[in-house]
Amino acid sequence: MQIPGKLHSKHVYITYPLKNGGEMTAVEDFNLVVDKGEFVCIVGPSGCGKSTVLGAVAGFQEISDGQLFLDGKEIRGAGRDRGVVFQHASLFPWRTALDNIIYGLEIAGVPKKDRNEKGQELLKLVGLESFGNHYPNQLSGGMQQRVNVARALAIEPSLMLLDEPFGALDAQTREFMQLELLRIWKATNQTILFVTHDIGEAVYLSDHVIVMTARPGRVLEKVKIDLPRPRPLEIKRSKEFIEYEKYIWDLIVTEKQKNVV
């Protein structure tokens, strides 16, 4: 059997145990194919299971039914073939920026000289060349997330997973980070699965936006974003962009109302 795409989610169900002994279905019949080199965002109402899906792909979250494939192999547990960027400040406070970036390489047993070289390269890539010796509490929120992205890139993963990485940043920094992420994505030819609740962010970044239903989360629609690349930030004010935003926004609002009724 041929397994399509880089990432393939096939009839995936994810449940959480409830206190009373029962279980709650968070994600239901989730189907998705992400091709190599694609940038795919997942949006949906709060609590619809976006993080849960990402956690399953990352290997933290067990799935109760269905199958997840990465490069044709079924996903079982966490691994270095996936680079994860967390929303919260998940940098090690006792490590410098450089030492945070090379954490994965250290774990993988890459010799010190090689990993430091790679670390310097990545510092440059994310624009923090002169901050390698800084500790996380000496960096701004935006800089910290650059380090976070660089740390995930360092292990040269097959797939990058980002869960609202810019959610805690102010609006201006967030836009700048989006621009930077697209540059890094192009420079590294990565495949990216990105969770956000910011529709504008999703439209701006994505090749495809996956809109999820309210809980239990399913794929409501896969919206192809046909905007030219490279995308300058001004594109966010273009008619086409705004139409994409409105279209997705309407999908989600209808979904939310359904949930209330």
Partner 1 sequence: MDNLKRNEKELTSVLNNPITSLHVKKTKKKTPFYDTFLFRHIGAITFVTVLILWELIYRLGVINPIFLSSPVQIIKVGYQLFVSGILLEHLVFTLRNFIVGFLLAASVGVVIGLITGWYKPLGKAFDPFLTAMLGTPRIVLLPLITLWVGVGFASKVLVVFLAGIFPIILNTMSGVQNLDPNLTRVAKAFGASPIQTFVTVALPGALPQIVSGLRVGIGQSLIGVVAAEMFVSTGGIGYFVAQSSANFNIDRVFVGIVLIIIVGILITQSVKWIESRLLKHRID
User: Residue numbers of the site for Mg ion (CB under 5 A)?
Assistant: 51
Question: Binds 197, which of ligand ATP, Mg ion, partner 1, none (CB < 5 to 8 A, cut-off by type)?
Answer: ligand ATP
Which 149-208 residues touch partner 1, going by CB under 8 A?
155
Residues 6+ apart with CB under 8 A from 142: 169, 173, 176, 177
- Adjacency order of strands within the sheet including 219-224: 82-85, 159-163, 192-195, 39-43, 208-212, 219-224
C-beta of 78 vs 107, nearer to Mg ion: 78
Q: How far is the CB of 21 from partner 1 (least distance, A)?
A: 23
Binding of ligand ATP at residue 50 (CB under 6 A)? Answer: yes
Under 8 Å between Cβ of 231 and 204: yes
Q: Is 18 exposed, middle or buried (0-12, 13-18, 19+ CB in 10 A)?
A: exposed
Question: Binds 80, which of partner 1, ligand ATP, Mg ion, none (CB < 5 to 8 A, cut-off by type)?
Answer: partner 1
Q: How far is the CB of 37 from Mg ion (least distance, A)?
A: 25
Question: Binds 215, which of Mg ion, ligand ATP, partner 1, none (CB < 5 to 8 A, cut-off by type)?
Answer: ligand ATP
Under 8 Å between Cβ of 185 and 37: no
Binding of partner 1 at residue 92 (CB under 8 A)? Answer: yes
C-beta of 19 vs 94, nearer to partner 1: 94
How many CB atoms neighbour CB 60 within 10 A? 13
Q: How far is the CB of 168 from ligand ATP (least distance, A)?
A: 13
Among 7, 12, 40, 48, binds ligand ATP (CB under 6 A): 48
C-beta of 24 vs 107, nearer to ligand ATP: 24
Pair of tokens at residue 4 = 């399509």
Q: How far is the CB of 194 from Mg ion (least distance, A)?
A: 12
Q: Which residues bind ligand ATP (CB under 6 A)?
A: 16, 26, 44, 46-52, 197, 215
Q: Which residues bind partner 1 (CB under 8 A)?
A: 58-60, 78-80, 82, 84, 86, 88-90, 92-94, 103-104, 106-108, 135, 137-138, 155
